[in-house]
């Protein structure tokens, strides 16, 4: 069962959300409730729920601030935000911090909430599978594919991923057309060549964040990103965390 925390300052709304869904049939269990963001943060810190269904406008700490704090602490709980029409700017911020979905409170229907839960359940299953998968399988980074040119590219990428590499460089390395190289690589590995390059860099960045005290800027430069903002953007795209949040999350689990 995936665990759920309900966060809403209006008791009636909180009770309605709890009552209208058959949680167990969807693989969820509500393990707690909170009336404001500060209470919710304490609960999340102690119990680490898989999902937080959270109102945006609340006393003491709003839902966006709660989500931001949770991410800074390195926790990867999924968030579904409950909002009003006037909360659009807050919704946008919440999505930037990695909220899975949002639902308008005034027009909330059972089906819309159930659809959101199904989506989150799929995300959680995928995350669990990735964390427990055999190395190189989940991330599509096979050592060999059986195709000599593609295997040659893989070896080149692993040896030079810290350098400035373009598709043109890779195509020249195997004496092939750029478009053909891109198509062939994806066919044999399941991932395009530039994504493969970024994944190699992010894997090494994760290792350095876990095992060293190097700064984010130093790590980004070490793995091939000269621009700090671009490194942070790519790291978040591949891990759903900023580098600092990832490091904090890793250390909290030790």
Q: What domains can be seen in the chain, in order of their start residue? A: 2-131 (3.40.50.2300), 148-253 (1.10.10.60)
Report the C-alpha gap between 193 and 40 in whole angstroms: 42
**Residue 47's pLDDT is what?**
87
pLDDT at 133: 46
Tokens 């190189």 sit at which residue? 136
pTM over 0.85: no
Using an 8 Å Cβ cutoff, are 50 and 5 in contact?
Answer: no
Q: State the Cα–Cα distance between residues 239 and 243, nearest whole angstrom.
A: 9
Contact 98, 67 (CB under 8 A): yes
For residue 4, list its beta bridge partners: 30, 51
Residue numbers in the chain where pLDDT is lower than 50 = 133-135, 137-142
The pLDDT assigned to 140 comes to 44
Q: Let me know: does 33 contact 5? Beta carbons within 8 Å.
A: yes
The helix/strand/coil state of 80 is strand
DSSP for residue 61: S
H or E element, residue 34: strand 28-34
Q: What pLDDT, on the 0 to 100 scale, is given for residue 220?
A: 95
Measured between alpha carbons, how far is 214 from 212 in angstroms, rounded to an integer? Answer: 6
Separation between Cα atoms, residue 186 and residue 243, nearest integer Å: 28
Phi (first) and psi of residue 78, to 5 degrees: -80, 150
pLDDT recorded at residue 58: 87
The predicted pLDDT at position 146 comes to 76
| Cα–Cα distances in angstroms (integers) from residue 146 to residues 77, 143, 186, 188, 241, in the given order | 39, 10, 14, 9, 34
Length of the chain: 254
């Amino acid at each position: 069962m995936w665990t759920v925390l309900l966060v809403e300052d209006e008791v009636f709304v909180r009770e309605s959300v709890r009552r209208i869904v058959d949680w167990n049939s969807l693989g969820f269990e509500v393990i707690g409730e909170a009336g404001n963001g500060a209470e919710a943060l304490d609960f999340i810190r102690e119990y680490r729920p898989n999902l937080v269904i959270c109102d945006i406008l609340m006393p003491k700490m709003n839902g966006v601030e709660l989500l931001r704090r949770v991410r800074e602490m390195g926790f990867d709980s999924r968030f579904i935000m409950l909002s009003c029409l006037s909360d659009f700017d807050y919704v946008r911020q919440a999505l930037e911090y990695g909220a899975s979905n949002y639902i308008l409170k005034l027009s909330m229907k059972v089906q819309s909430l159930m659809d959101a839960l199904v989506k989150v359940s799929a995300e959680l299953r995928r995350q669990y599978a990735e964390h427990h998968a055999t190395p190189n399988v989940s991330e599509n980074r096979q050592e060999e594919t059986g195709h000599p040119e593609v295997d040659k590219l893989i070896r080149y990428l692993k040896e030079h991923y810290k350098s400035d590499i373009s598709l043109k460089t890779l195509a020249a390395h195997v004496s092939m057309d750029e478009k053909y190289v891109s198509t062939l690589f994806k066919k044999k590995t399941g991932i395009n060549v530039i994504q493969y390059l970024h994944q190699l860099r992010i894997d090494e960045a994760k290792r350095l964040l876990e095992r060293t005290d190097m700064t984010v800027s130093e790590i980004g430069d070490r793995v091939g990103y000269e621009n700090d903002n671009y490194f942070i953007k790519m790291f978040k795209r591949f891990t759903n965390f900023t580098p600092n949040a990832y490091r904090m999350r890793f250390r909290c689990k030790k």
